[in-house]
Amino acid sequence: METDVLTKELLMLGIPKDFVSTFIELGNLQKVAFNQTVVTYNDVSQNVFIVLKGGFVSQRMVNDGSFRTINFFLRGHEPYMSSFHSFFNGEKSPVQLKSIKKSTVLVLKKSEIDNLNHSYSEFKDFYIERLIHALLLENEFKSYLIAKTPLEIYNIICEKYPILIKELPSKYIAEFIGITRVWLSNLKHQNLKKR
């Protein structure tokens, strides 16, 4: 990706203008193949990934050893991703971050972000704002899983986050809601009849 294109992308994602060149200099541009894991379950990851193209799911291991989707990261949804437990506490990651299509990310190391936080109050303000947004969104999604029916969750996603319906394979939406793809298909048809 050319520097001027990358600069435009980062500005569109809300990176403060004064720090775009720093991100380009410090970051590592990485192409990610479909279905590739960038953070593996039970590994320690000290990276933040900025999704420039494509998309990812965050998946947590469930009792039977399979993985269940618990969050989504897309350029137009929530482009900043990390395994928060691992990033902040140096613990083994309780999730895996897996691509759902060919993707491009800018990877920044925790040490670099910490240096920017300590050196620049403007960057620290941006960082805290993005962190709060990401954590609130994750909490919102978890509350849906606890308090809402699958139909209610699907309707909320359609209304508040239509990009997820448009960009994500149905498999991950169904997995997030906790239903089969067939049941999700039935929900979609019910929704179409209502409109």
For the stretch 97-117, pLDDT in tens is 999 999 999 999 999 999 999
8 A C-beta contact, residue 190 and residue 152: no
* The pLDDT value given to residue 189: 76
8 A C-beta contact, residue 172 and residue 179: no
Question: pLDDT digit string (tens) for 71-86?
Answer: 999 998 999 999 988 9
Q: In whole angstroms, what is the distance from residue 136 CA to residue 112 CA?
A: 24
Q: Higher model confidence: residue 176 or residue 3?
A: 176
Taking CA atoms, 20 is separated from 71, 109, 168, in Å, by 27, 15, 28
Could you tell me the strand order of the sheet in which 47-53 lies? 28-32, 103-109, 47-53, 80-81
Note the CATH architecture for domain 3-110: Sandwich (2.60)
Helix (H) or strand (E) holding 8: helix 3-12
* The pLDDT value given to residue 84: 87
Using a cut of 0.85, tell me whether the model's pTM lies above it: yes
Cross-strand pairs, 153? none
Question: pLDDT digit string (tens) for 6-28?
Answer: 999 999 988 889 899 999 999 99
